[in-house]
């Protein structure tokens, strides 16, 4: 019961203090809609990036017998436990205009990442991809490998096997991982504000907008943004968990 109270009381507090009468006006304000649109777009792109890069990575981690896999897995999962601000500092030091890679990018190609929408996606993918990787790796490990072997003996190339046999078998795991990654990307704050900055329309996502509202003493907007985030998260967890992740 105490656990339940600890988890639910803050939410109840938000609902209690929420400016319900001004809610429709605040939720549809240009400021909130801009942040919402940016958040949904960047989180979706970050999830796609995570899928493209993370699924092969999970496959390597689950199937490779090369030495050093335990270390590689540890490194890949670091962003899971790293404070996001530290992740942002790492991104800035690497990809900032004075950073190791960023400096080269700017001088050679005239590309600069920080303070752009691309930087938001970078930061989100950095913290969200490990969620996808562990989820996919887990289902790859529990999937029956014999089907892969049979496909191979029937003459399928390893790419065909991966595409036609392995992927469908771990589909639910990938879906669950993608949803987790999307939710994590949507909630990303620390790495974003450190690496991408905060400017309306380009880098100021929902969590950043809430932070700015708190910093500026605009409690009503902060509460409305918090409720919006919670509503989105609950919708994802309730609506999709039973379908893709739950044991039923």
Partner 1 sequence: MKGTRVALVAGVGVLTALGLWWWNGNDEYPSTDEEASAEAGGTVTVLAAASLTEAFTDLADELTAQHPELDIVYSFGPSSTLAQQAVAGAPADILVTADIETMDVAVEAGVVAGAPEVIARNTMALVTPADNPGDVRGLADLARSDLRIALCEPKVPCGAKADEVLGEAGVAAAPDTLATDVKEVMALVTLGEVDAALVYRTDALAAGDAILTVTAEELTKVSTEYPAALLVQAHSPQAARLVMDAMTGEVGRSALDTAGFAEP
Q: Give the H or E element holding residue 68.
A: none
As a whole number of angstroms, the distance between CA 168 and CA 171 comes to 5
Return the range that interacts with partner 1 (CB under 8 A); candidates 41-49, 131-139, 150-158, 211-219: 211-219
Q: In this chain, which of 128, 140, 212, 240 binds partner 1, going by CB under 8 A?
A: 212
Q: Take residue 4 and report the two structure tokens written for it.
A: 């339940």
Closest CA to 203 of 124, 119, 127: 119
Exactly one of 146, 217, 246, 247 binds partner 1 (CB under 8 A); that residue is: 217
> By C-beta, is 5 or 235 nearer to partner 1?
5
From CA 90, how far away is CA 114, in angstroms rounded?
12
CA dihedral in degrees (175, 179, 182, 183; nearest 10)?
Answer: -170
Nearer to partner 1, 137 or 209 (CB): 209
Does position 97 interact with partner 1 (CB under 8 A)? The reply is yes
Using the minimum distance from each CB to partner 1, give the nearer residue, 91 or 227: 91
Q: Least distance in Å: CB of 37 to partner 1?
A: 18
**Nearer Cβ to partner 1 (108/247):** 108
Residues near 208 by beta carbon (within 8 Å), at least 6 away in sequence: 35, 189, 192, 193, 198
For partner 1, the binding residue among 23, 198, 220, 245 (CB under 8 A) is 198
Q: Which of 22, 98, 163, 241 binds partner 1 (CB under 8 A)?
A: 98
Contacting range for partner 1; rule: CB under 8 A; set: 65-73, 75-83, 166-174, 207-215: 207-215
Which is closer to partner 1, CB of 68 or CB of 217?
Answer: 217
Q: Tell me how many helices (H) and strands (E) the chain has.
A: 14, 0
Q: Using CB under 8 A, which residues numbered 152 to 171 contact partner 1?
A: none
- Spatial distance between the Cα atoms of 92 and 86, rounded to a whole number of angstroms: 10
138 or 200, CB closer to partner 1?
Answer: 200
The SS3 assignment for 114 reads coil
Residues in the interface with partner 1 (CB under 8 A) total 22
Q: Judged by CB under 8 A, which of 115, 147, 162, 244 binds partner 1?
A: 115
Of the listed pieces 122-130, 144-152, 160-168, 204-212, which binds partner 1 according to CB under 8 A?
204-212
* Burial class for 200, CB neighbours closer than 10 Å (0-12, 13-18, 19+): middle
Distance of CA 3 to the CA centre of its chain: 26
| 92 touches partner 1 by CB under 8 A | yes
Handedness of CA 59, 65, 66, 67 (dihedral sign): positive
Residue numbers of the site for partner 1 (CB under 8 A)? 92, 96-98, 112, 114-115, 197-200, 202-204, 211-212, 214-219
């Amino acid at each position: 019961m105490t656990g339940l109270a600890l988890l639910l009381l803050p939410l109840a507090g938000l609902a209690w203090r929420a400016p319900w009468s001004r809610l429709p006006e605040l939720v549809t304000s240009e400021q909130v809609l801009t942040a919402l649109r940016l958040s949904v777009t960047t989180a979706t792109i970050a999830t796609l990036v995570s899928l493209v890069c993370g699924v092969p990575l999970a496959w390597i981690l689950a199937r490779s017998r090369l030495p050093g896999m335990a270390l590689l897995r540890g490194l890949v999962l670091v962003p899971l436990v790293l404070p996001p601000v530290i992740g942002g500092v790492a991104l800035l030091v690497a990809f900032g205009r004075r950073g190791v890679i960023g400096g080269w990018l700017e001088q050679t190609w005239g590309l600069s990442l920080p303070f752009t929408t691309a930087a938001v996606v970078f930061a989100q993918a950095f913290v969200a991809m490990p969620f996808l990787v562990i989820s996919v790796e887990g289902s790859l490990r529990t999937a029956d490998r014999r089907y892969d072997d049979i496909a191979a003996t029937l003459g399928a190339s390893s790419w065909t096997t991966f595409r036609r046999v392995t992927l469908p078998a771990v589909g639910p795991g990938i879906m669950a991982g993608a949803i987790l990654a999307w939710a994590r990307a949507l909630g990303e704050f620390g790495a974003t504000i450190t690496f991408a900055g905060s400017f309306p329309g380009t880098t100021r996502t929902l969590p950043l907008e809430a932070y700015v509202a708190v910093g500026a003493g605009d409690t009503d907007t902060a509460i409305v943004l918090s409720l919006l985030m919670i509503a989105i998260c609950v919708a994802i967890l309730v609506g999709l968990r039973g379908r893709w992740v739950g044991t039923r």
